Amino acid sequence: MLTERHLEVVLAVVYEYIKTGEPIGSRTIARKFLRDRSAATIRNEMADLEEMEYLYQPHTSAGRIPTPKAYRVYVDAILRRQRPFPSVSEGWIRELRGRRKDVEEALVYATRLLGRITSYIGVAALGPAQETVLQRVEFLRMGHSTVLVLLVLRGGLIHHKTVTLPCDMTQEALDELSRRVSTIAIGRSWAEVRGTLQSYVEDALERYADSCRSALKEMDGLLTEQPFQFFTGGTHNVLGLPDFSDLGRLQTIMALLEEDESIGKLVRNCSTERGLCVTIGDENPELKMPDCSIVMASTVTGGRKAVVGLIGPVRMDYERSISVLERVLETLAGKNENVKSDEEVH
């Protein structure tokens, strides 16, 4: 297995490679990191490490490049120890804090901020609304059997959808429906009231039973079927990185980021685990981003679960990325604040 010095060499190679992007030679390691050993010794270690698949050579007579396995060791080491406080402009943090009133806006800003600070791509997802307390339910008649379903959730979040019902309901009937649904649902989450509503409302408004059924189904869809809302920001920052000089690859990534489905996978990949989660390269082949690493973490803002993260090259600056992300998450969650946030009302 890995000896102490093997480990030191791996960490040194990863560290240096992240900094320079060039293959790292034995001389460099001996000079900068293990001053009491000669290059020849390091060379032997490196040969071992190559056999164990922690390092590889792009060609004979080149330095070594870390494999995903080496990055994993490196990242685990970072996660274990204390990270330095990242230098992030206080102005930006304050701006982000100021936007917390509107969760969506805050997340859009957070992704752009993350992108700008790290030169990687910021992503965010807003968790399923079904756990969030409903504050208001309205059905507004828009046209012939077309109705706008409007849900106000705690945290200033609004979901709405225009739906077509099987029969034309008057605004009065819809108000009646709103009232009945409200009585039961307001102050509770959709998950709690879902079952109750299905049976109750239909009986009470039997004349419109079909329409009510379909309206409730749409609400259900709004709150559960499309459980995450996605945001990406700062995609352009990544264009300058040498790691993404292969345009074809970059194009694939950008295309993936435009589909909600693949960000969905991204989030699911992370949200099952606790806290911070780093995926290196093709550790999760389902994500279809073999040349990218993903740093994600979840938090709670505006009463909803949110997942925020960064997508960068495998050779990304994990230390900085992680600490910047932690700082942003803290700000979103409202930790370390002097001003108390508004207390919730009913």
Region for residue 334 given its phi and psi (left: phi exceeds 0; alpha: psi -120 to 50; beta: otherwise)? left
Beta-ladder partners of 151: 137, 159
Q: Which helix (H) or strand (E) holds 285?
A: none
3-state secondary structure at position 76: helix
Nearest of 114, 3, 118, 16 to residue 74 by alpha carbon: 16
Mask of contacts with its own copies, 146-175, x by CB under 8 A? x-x-x-x-x-x-x-xxx-x-----------
Contact present, 152 and 303 (Cβ < 8 Å) = no
User: Footprint of DNA on residues 212-241 (CB under 7 A)?
Assistant: none
Distance (Å) of CA 237 to CA 113, 117, 119, 157, 241: 11, 9, 5, 29, 8
Minimum Å gap between C-beta 255 and its own copies is 5
Q: Which of 26, 119, 229, 279 binds DNA (CB under 7 A)?
A: 26
Count of residues near its own copies by CB under 8 A: 44
**CB-CB neighbours of 285 under 10 Å:** 9
Given a contact cutoff of 8 angstroms between Cβ atoms, the answer to whether 161 and 148 are in contact is yes
69, 72, 112, 327: which one binds its own copies (CB under 8 A)? 112
Return phi, psi of residue 131, to 5°.
-90, -10
Residue 142 interacting with its own copies (CB under 8 A): yes
Our CB check for DNA shows the closer of 43 and 116 to be: 43
CA–CA dist 138, 289 (Å, integer): 41
**Closest approach of Cβ 265 to DNA, in Å?**
34
What is the nearest approach in angstroms of DNA to the Cβ of residue 160? 55
The correct pick among 6, 33, 50, 73 for binding DNA (CB under 7 A) is 50
Question: Out of 19, 21, 32, 38, which residue is the one contacting DNA (CB under 7 A)?
Answer: 38
> For residues 177 and 212, is the Cβ–Cβ distance under 8 A?
yes
- Between 240 and 269, how does the x/- string for binding to its own copies read (CB under 8 A)? x----x-xx-xx-xxx-xx-----------
Cβ proximity to its own copies, 59 vs 144, nearer residue: 144
Q: Which two tokens stand for residue 74?
A: 């490196």
Among 32, 94, 101, 179, binds its own copies (CB under 8 A): 101
> Minimum Å distance from CB 26 to DNA?
4
Between CA 305 and CA 103 the distance in angstroms is 11
State how far the Cα of 294 lies from the Cα of 237, in Å rounded to an integer.
16
Q: Which stretch binds DNA (CB under 7 A): 43-51, 75-83, 185-193, 215-223?
A: 43-51
Which residues of the shown chain bind its own copies in the complex (CB under 8 A)?
A: 101-102, 112, 135-136, 138, 140-146, 148, 150, 152, 154, 156, 158, 160-162, 164, 233-237, 239-240, 245, 247-248, 250-251, 253-255, 257-258, 342-345
Which residues of the shown chain bind DNA in the complex (CB under 7 A)?
A: 23-28, 36-41, 43-44, 46-47, 50, 57, 59-64
